[in-house]
């Protein structure tokens, strides 16, 4: 069960954003009873046009969309890696998530205090990144010690003597250390051999987790798609291994969400924002006023290498989550573990074929007639088939 976590200094907007996501979830909670809300964790519904299309077509009794779990990890401050603030407790919370939204404050406000007195996203990026890297450096020291002890034991070498390290371990360790010492997350370096990747997996580093940089700016900056810090942030991210940057505004999203029960008022708010954009002399599709929340959720899910396949019928339309590159039996195993063990074949159709062929019917008949309903065996990769209808034959 993979999760994303919000990480950032205090007062950058983490809990505001968590609440916004929970609010989006609340709005749908009537439809999705499983959508429990915890102050520190939201299960954000993954926006998915294919799923919505299936729901519209099948009109089932129940619907189960894919969700992305996101945890608000509060408490990171300068010195956390040495135990300041929540210190190690905080860092173990990061260790428990699989991907990181690194939230950075780029909005000015006299009312919201900044822990370091002034707004400077580059300094903040440095602070957070160096805390994560310092923690990883500490982990690497332990990894090295453990490896040495293991080899000493295996080879009967004395405690005081330096044991010979394996070649792959040594190169993986050296590369990680060099990255971490230059404040660069290990994740972003693609210069690893397969063997090194295997070794690094056992190192338990925080900075191997995918990171998405989320820039929280004022509503006005968000509407005009500009903020004086953005180019500098882009440069910093490029210099620290690259990564996706998502500019957004909690202020804008909050106002939009506060109006979600009144669609007319919400539209009026968007119209007003569009007027403001026009008044700034800006136009074109790049300046369309819309929420960034769907993009945020999709990006998190992609960074975790997750994708959906669907089952659809009159009782239920459901999106199931699998890792990219999963094989058909693993996909079946998500539905029920017995299905993986006893897997013989799956019957599947491609979503686009279904959409093109079903002719308004909530059935596979037309897809079958066209010869597009296939049986897939044990080695079929789910990348190849966006499984629509998975009927497991035991
Ligand atoms: P956290 O400590 O990172 O969880 O930060 P919070 O979400 O609690 O936000 C701290 C304060 O900043 C709150 O008073 C928010 O209302 C305010 N805040 C968050 N995002 C924005 C924003 O985009 N613009 C402005 N002006 N205030 C914001």
250 lines ligand 1 (CB under 6 A): yes
pLDDT, tens digit, 9 for 90 and up, residues 116-135: 778 899 999 999 999 899 99
57 lines ligand 1 (CB under 6 A): no
pLDDT, tens digit, 9 for 90 and up, residues 200-209: 989 999 999 9
pLDDT, tens digit, 9 for 90 and up, residues 334-346: 887 777 777 777 8
pLDDT, tens digit, 9 for 90 and up, residues 20-72: 888 766 555 555 544 444 557 888 889 899 999 999 999 999 999 999 999 98
pLDDT, tens digit, 9 for 90 and up, residues 187-201: 866 688 889 999 998
As given in the structure block, the two tokens for residue 91 are: 């860092």
Q: Which atom of ligand 1 is nearest to the CA of 9?
A: 3
pLDDT at residue number 275? 93
Q: φ and ψ at 388, to 5 degrees?
A: -105, -50
Instruction: Give the mean model confidence (pLDDT) for residues 91-106.
Output: 90
299 lines ligand 1 (CB under 6 A): no
Question: ipTM more than 0.90?
Answer: yes
Domains defined for the chain, CATH in brackets: 325-393 (3.10.20.30)
Q: Which atom of ligand 1 is nearest to the CA of 250?
A: 23
| pLDDT greater at residue 362 or residue 378 | 362
pLDDT at residue number 294? 92
Q: Is residue 221 pLDDT above 50, yes or no?
A: yes
pLDDT at residue number 388? 47
pLDDT at residue number 26? 59
pLDDT at residue number 35? 47
Q: Is residue 392 pLDDT above 70, yes or no?
A: no
249 lines ligand 1 (CB under 6 A): yes
Cα dist from 332 to 61, 320, 345, 348, whole Å: 22, 10, 9, 11
Span from the CA of 88 to the centroid of ligand 1 (angstroms): 24
158 pLDDT band (50/70/90 cuts)?
confident
Span from the CA of 337 to the centroid of ligand 1 (angstroms): 43
d(CA 351, CA 354): 5
Burial of 199 (0-12, 13-18, 19+ CB in 10 A): buried
pLDDT at residue number 329? 82
214 lines ligand 1 (CB under 6 A): no
Q: How far is CA 343 from the centre of its chain?
A: 30
Q: Is residue 385 pLDDT above 50, yes or no?
A: no
pLDDT at residue number 212? 96
Give me the residue label for tokens 């002034």.
Answer: 118
15 lines ligand 1 (CB under 6 A): yes
Mean pLDDT, the chain, whole residue set: 85
Instruction: Give the mean model confidence (pLDDT) for residues 105-115.
Output: 79
Cα dist from 140 to 146, 209, 267, whole Å: 10, 15, 52
**For ligand 1, atom 11: residue with the closest CA:** 11
Instruction: Give the mean model confidence (pLDDT) for residues 313-325.
Output: 88
d(CA 27, CA 94): 28
Phi-psi region of 302 (alpha: psi -120 to 50; beta: other; left: phi over 0): alpha
Q: Tell me the pairing of strands 67-72 and 345-348.
A: unpaired
Q: Is residue 261 pLDDT above 60, yes or no?
A: yes
Span from the CA of 216 to the centroid of ligand 1 (angstroms): 9
Q: Residue 274: name the closest of 106, 297, 266 by CA.
A: 266
Alpha helices in 30-81 (DSSP H): 49-58
Q: Is residue 247 pLDDT above 80, yes or no?
A: yes
350 pLDDT band (50/70/90 cuts)?
confident
d(CA 15, CA 73): 9
pLDDT at residue number 393? 39
307 and 318 in contact (C-beta within 8 Å)? no
Q: Is residue 174 pLDDT above 90, yes or no?
A: yes
As given in the structure block, the two tokens for residue 341 are: 């063990």
Q: Is residue 271 pLDDT above 80, yes or no?
A: yes
């Amino acid at each position: 069960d993979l999760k994303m976590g919000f990480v950032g200094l205090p007062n950058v907007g983490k809990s505001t954003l968590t609440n916004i996501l929970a609010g989006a979830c609340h709005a749908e909670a009537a439809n999705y009873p499983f959508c429990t809300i915890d102050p520190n964790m939201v299960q954000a519904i993954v926006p998915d046009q294919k799923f919505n299309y299936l729901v519209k077509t099948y009109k089932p009794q129940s619907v189960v969309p894919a969700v992305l779990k996101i945890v608000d990890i509060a408490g990171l401050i300068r010195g956390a890696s040495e135990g300041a603030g929540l210190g190690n407790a905080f860092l173990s919370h990061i260790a428990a998530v699989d991907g990181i939204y690194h939230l950075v404050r780029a909005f000015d406000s006299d009312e919201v205090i900044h822990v370091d007195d002034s707004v400077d996203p580059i300094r903040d990026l440095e602070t957070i990144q160096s805390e994560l890297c310092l923690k990883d450096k500490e982990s690497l020291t332990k990894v090295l010690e453990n490896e040495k002890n293991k080899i000493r034991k295996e080879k009967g070498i004395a405690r005081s003597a330096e044991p010979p390290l394996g070649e792959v371990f040594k190169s993986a360790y050296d590369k990680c250390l060099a990255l971490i010492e230059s404040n660069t997350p290990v994740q972003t370096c693609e210069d690893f051999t397969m063997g090194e990747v295997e070794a690094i997996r056992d190192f338990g580093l925080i900075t191997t987790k995918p990171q998405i940089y989320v820039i929280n700016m004022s509503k006005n900056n968000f509407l005009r798609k500009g903020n004086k810090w953005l180019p500098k942030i882009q440069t910093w991210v490029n210099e620290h291994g690259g990564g996706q940057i998502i500019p957004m505004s909690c202020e804008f999203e909050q106002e939009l969400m506060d109006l979600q029960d009144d669609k007319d008022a919400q539209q009026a708010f968007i119209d007003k924002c569009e007027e403001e954009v026009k008044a700034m002399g800006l136009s074109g599709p790049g300046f369309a006023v819309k929420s960034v929340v769907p993009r945020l959720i999709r990006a998190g899910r992609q960074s975790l290498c997750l994708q959906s396949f669907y089952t659809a019928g009159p009782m239920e339309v459901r999106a199931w989550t699998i890792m990219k590159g999963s094989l058909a039996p693993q996909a079946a195993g998500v539905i029920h573990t017995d299905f993986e063990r006893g897997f013989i074949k799956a019957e599947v159709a491609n979503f686009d074929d279904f959409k093109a062929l079903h002719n308004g019917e909530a059935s596979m008949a037309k897809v079958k007639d066209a010869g597009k309903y296939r049986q897939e065996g044990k080695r079929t990769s789910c990348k190849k088939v966006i499984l629509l209808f998975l009927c497991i034959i035991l």
